Amino acid sequence: MKKLLIVVLLAIVVLAGCQESSTQRPLIGITSIYQVNKDNDLYSLTSVPFSYVCAITESGGTPIILPTVDNDTMIAQYIDAIDGLLLIGGYDIPPAAYGQQPHETVAVMPNQRFDFESRLIPAWLKTGKPTLGICLGMQFTNVASGGTLIQDIPTYIAGHDTHRGKNVHHKVDIVKGCKLAEILGSDKAFVYSNHHQAVDKLGNDLTVTAHSGDGVIEALERTDGPFGLFVQWHPELMADIKHRDAIYSALVQACK
């Protein structure tokens, strides 16, 4: 009788564990902004706009902020621990990273962030785990994949749309049949935009899936993995919650 009771209890414990694991929220790593304190590095800050955190949590994921560490072992631990990766916006990539001299409008990110994401992104892409890149996240992925950037849209694109400023929105045309069109249920979108750079030469294993009216590349998707979506706009800051939730939920669901 005791043996039977033990077996029943063990079965309950195993079943409870299975139920817990089946409903567990995926861990989504979020890259961070490094703010340098020139007087004392101990007072430098790692931060993430809370809109990204809200977008992940409200889409069913658990956000994990990834500080900019200078240690390959720690980066490998990040990659092992998380189910998906959100690459957020920020300052510009050093143009030397894609073989160019800087334009006068370039505002380069701190070395700490550049060095960290330059190591994180290629290693992460090799895993095939789900990735969502926003604004700089799309640009950084393109550069890490061997591509280049237009350093300043107003300088290099005649007749350009307005892509940067307070409350700037514009239309984008999405390639029919692509993952983004499937996620949004449309081949058009009206998006919140805040960037002065854009993808130029396309990186390896990426395909273009959206443009703005002036020809600027607005979205990329990976061609060598189950889920890799990169958009130039900011869904997490849009008043259109359905649009935001569609994109961020797609990341979370891909992690399940």
The pLDDT tens digits of the residues spanning 8-56 come to 333 333 334 433 444 699 999 999 999 999 999 899 999 999 999 999 9
CATH number of the domain residue 227 falls in:
3.40.50.880
pLDDT band at 226 (very low <50, low <70, confident <90, very high): confident
Any catalytic annotation for residue 236?
yes
Query: In the predicted model, is pLDDT for residue 6 greater than 70?
Result: no
Do 191 and 132 contact (CB within 8 A), yes or no? Answer: no
Q: Scanning the structure block, which residue is given the tokens 């993995």?
A: 225
Per DSSP, what are the bridge partners of residue 105? Answer: none
Residue 96's Cβ-side half-sphere holds a number of Cα atoms within 13 Å equal to: 6
Query: For residue 11, is it within any domain?
Result: no
What pLDDT was estimated at residue 166? 85
What pLDDT was estimated at residue 16? 41
Query: For residue 6, is it within any domain?
Result: no
The pLDDT tens digits of the residues spanning 118-172 come to 999 999 999 999 999 999 999 999 999 999 999 999 999 998 989 999 889 999 9
Query: For residue 212, is it within any domain?
Result: yes
Query: For residue 238, is it within any domain?
Result: yes
Do 143 and 149 contact (CB within 8 A), yes or no? Answer: yes
- Domain carrying residue 122: 26-255
Please state, in angstroms and rounded to a whole number, the distance separating the CA atoms of residues 17 and 78.
24
Which residue would you say has higher pLDDT here, 11 or 191? 191
Query: For residue 19, is it within any domain?
Result: no
Q: Which of 9-13, 77-81, 225-229 has the largest mean confidence?
A: 77-81
Mean per-residue pLDDT of the chain: 91
3-state secondary structure of 249: helix
Among residues 117, 218, 221, 236, which one is catalytic?
Answer: 236
Query: In the predicted model, is pLDDT for residue 7 greater than 50?
Result: no
Query: For residue 101, is it within any domain?
Result: yes
Query: For residue 57, is it within any domain?
Result: yes
Q: Scanning the structure block, which residue is given the tokens 């955190």?
A: 53
What pLDDT was estimated at residue 21? 44
Split into its structural domains, the chain has a count of 1
Among residues 163, 170, 196, 234, which one is catalytic?
Answer: 234
Among residues 135, 163, 178, 243, which one is catalytic?
Answer: 135
Where would I find the beta strands (DSSP E) of the chain? 27-31, 33-35, 45-47, 62-66, 84-87, 131-134, 149-150, 169-174, 188-192, 198-199, 206-212, 217-222, 228-231
The pLDDT tens digits of the residues spanning 86-98 come to 999 999 999 999 9
Any catalytic annotation for residue 255?
no
What are the distances in angstroms from CA 228 to CA 31, 81, 238, 255? 16, 18, 21, 11
Query: For residue 9, is it within any domain?
Result: no
Structure tokens at 18: 């299975």
Structure tokens at 112: 């700490």
Region 222-234: what's the mean pLDDT?
95
